[in-house]
């Protein structure tokens, strides 16, 4: 249940409803009723409130998108930036997860991504091809020319 806030179902604002019930006290003021509602939501989706698990609904939605793409026959090698699922750029998100692996929740997020075959990005030294020189200043200027106004100032 990681619908975006603006999601609608049967002309009802499902996304906003989910946002509201995830807030503290969103299941009601009566503790017994709130507990019963929480159990019912867990029966539908154990991850209905990702905040309680240590991550955001946005993370949950991207993870579910990646999982769906892989279950449909996709592979991690083709999930590159620009590959989207329901409007979310799953490829860019996946690149960020690999790059920031150490900042993910080890017991949940890393484990879930690992089960899909995702691994952390190689370190900076491993990413550079051995023996290949770095880009020199002249080549860097050609690749990223200064703004026109800055040319006149030189």
For residue 31 the two structure tokens come to 């503790």
What pTM did the predictor assign?
Answer: 0.69
pLDDT single digits (tens) 135-150: 445 544 444 444 444 4
Is the dihedral angle over the CA atoms 73, 79, 83, 85 positive or is it negative?
positive
Taking Cα atoms as reference points, which of 24, 25, 3 lies closest to residue 12? 3
Which pLDDT belongs to residue 140? 47
Contact yes or no for 38/27 (Cβ under 8 A): yes
Domain ranges of the chain: 1-53, 55-121
Contact yes or no for 56/103 (Cβ under 8 A): no
Q: What is the DSSP string of 70-126?
A: HHTT--GGG--TT-EETTEEHHHHHHHHHHTGGGS-IIIIIHHHHHTT--PPPPHHH
Cα three-residue angle 18-53-93, rounded to 5 degrees:
80
pLDDT single digits (tens) 21-73: 888 888 889 999 999 999 998 899 888 888 888 899 899 999 999 999 999 99
């Amino acid at each position: 249940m990681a619908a975006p806030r603006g999601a609608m179902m049967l002309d009802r604002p499902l996304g906003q409803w989910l946002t509201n019930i995830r807030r503290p006290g969103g299941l009601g003021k009566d503790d017994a009723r709130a507990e019963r509602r929480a159990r019912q939501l867990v029966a539908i989706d154990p991850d209905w409130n990702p905040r309680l698990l240590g991550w955001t609904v946005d993370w949950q939605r991207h993870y579910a998108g990646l999982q769906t793409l892989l279950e449909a026959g996709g592979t991690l090698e083709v999930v590159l930036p620009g590959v989207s699922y329901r409007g979310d750029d799953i490829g860019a998100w996946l690149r960020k997860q690999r790059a920031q692996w150490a900042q993910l929740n080890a017991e949940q997020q890393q484990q879930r991504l690992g089960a899909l075959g995702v691994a952390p990005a190689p370190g900076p030294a491993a990413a550079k091809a051995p023996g290949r020189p770095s880009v020199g200043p002249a080549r860097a200027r050609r690749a990223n020319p200064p703004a026109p106004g800055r040319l006149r100032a030189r």
